[in-house]
Amino acid sequence: MDSSVTLQMLESDSQTCTACKLCETRKTVVFGEGNTSPQIMIVGEGPGADEDATGRPFVGKSGQLLDKILGAVGLARADIYIGNMVKCRPPANRAPEPEEVLACNRWLEPQLALLKPQVILTLGNTPTRYLLGLQAGITRTRGTWHRKTFAWGTPLVMPMFHPAYLLRNDTKAVGGPKSLTWRDIQEVVAVLGGKDPEGLAPVQDELRLF
Ligand code: URA
Ligand code: SF4
Ligand code: URA
């Protein structure tokens, strides 16, 4: 069966999920969307209010900034797939709890296995820490290439700042978070174009939840 059909079945199954307590407060399960055989998959933290209301990932202020970051290197939403660590909105936009992330991996793991992206961009601390098992925060890990081993392949992983963080630290200063993000997204595009990934860091296994 074609992977986009299977992905639609997975999405449809996810819509009634009650595997963690986020199901009690969500309006919509935000499964993810985009290119179903993407070079790049973006993994955010979890839906916010706008996403919970519309059922689509990254459509609020963060999403608008994300579109600009992608557009700056000639990427559109149709080129990539966008999803989140948890598919339901954490109340008051708190970070998802470890057991919520673990529960929601029942959707993320098969989603990744069907999409098989070459590169995963983890936005902010939550996806970076859970997917790579890193203790170091995003300020130290962003801009460095990692490789993660799955049963289906070994995609490169690039941690980047979360757009919500860029909105809170909106400076155009050289060396500021926006300029670092500009550097990071250019590096991603360069590597997809054939450049060697520099400074590939080993993945630490001890803290991996999955
Ligand atoms: N922030 C996220 O991490 N994900 C979204 O989908 C929207 C905002
Ligand atoms: Fe299910 Fe994930 Fe929603 Fe929890 S966050 S209820 S695991 S879909
Ligand atoms: N802190 C976060 O939680 N995310 C970022 O992207 C940067 C700092």
How do residues 145-158 score in pLDDT, each as one tens digit?
999 999 999 999 99
Domain ranges within the chain, ordered by starting residue:
26-192
Residue in 63, 43, 42, 41 with CA at minimum distance from that of residue 52: 63
The bridge status of strand 81-84 relative to strand 40-44 is parallel
Write out pLDDT tens, residues 76-118: 999 999 999 999 999 999 999 999 999 999 999 999 999 999 9
- In the prediction, which pLDDT does 46 show? 98
Ligand 1 center to residue 1 CA distance, Å? 30
What ligand has the least distance to the C-alpha of 90?
Answer: 2
What percentage of the chain reaches a pLDDT higher than 70?
A: 94
* 172-196 residue pLDDT tens: 888 899 999 999 999 999 999 999 9
Ligand nearest to the CA of 126: 3
Band the pLDDT of 210: cuts 50, 70, 90. Answer: very low
Res. 205 pLDDT band, cuts 50 70 90: very low
Given a cut of 50, whether residue 208 has pLDDT beyond it is no
With a pLDDT cut of 90, the percent of the chain lying above it is 86
Q: To test ligand 1's pocket by mutation, which of 52, 58, 122, 161 has the most ligand atoms within 8 angstroms of CB?
A: 58
Assess whether the C-beta atom of 96 lies below 6 angstroms from ligand 1. no
Give the binding-site residues of ligand 3, using a 6 Å CB cut-off. Answer: 124-125, 138, 161-162, 165
How much is the average pLDDT of 43-57? 98
**Close Cβ partners of 71 (under 8 Å, ≥ 6 residues apart):** none
Residues 159, 126 contacting (CB under 8 angstroms): no
User: Which pLDDT score is estimated for 207?
Assistant: 37
Minimum-distance ligand 3 atom for the alpha carbon of 166? 6
| The predicted structure's pLDDT at residue 2 | 77
CATH node for 26-192: 3.40.470.10
pLDDT at 56: 98
CA distance 119 to 117: 5
Q: How far is the CA of 95 from the centre of ligand 1 (A)?
A: 11
pLDDT at residue 201, rounded to an integer: 66
The atom number, within ligand 3, closest to the CA of 160 reads 6
pTM of the full structure: 0.93
Average pLDDT of the residues in 21-43 = 98
What is the pLDDT, as a whole number, of residue 198? 78
Residue nearest (by alpha carbon) to ligand 2 atom 4: 20
Residue 206 pLDDT greater than 70, yes or no: no
Q: Is 14 exposed, middle or buried (0-12, 13-18, 19+ CB in 10 A)?
A: buried
Identity of residue 36 = T
Tell me which DSSP letter residue 153 carries: B
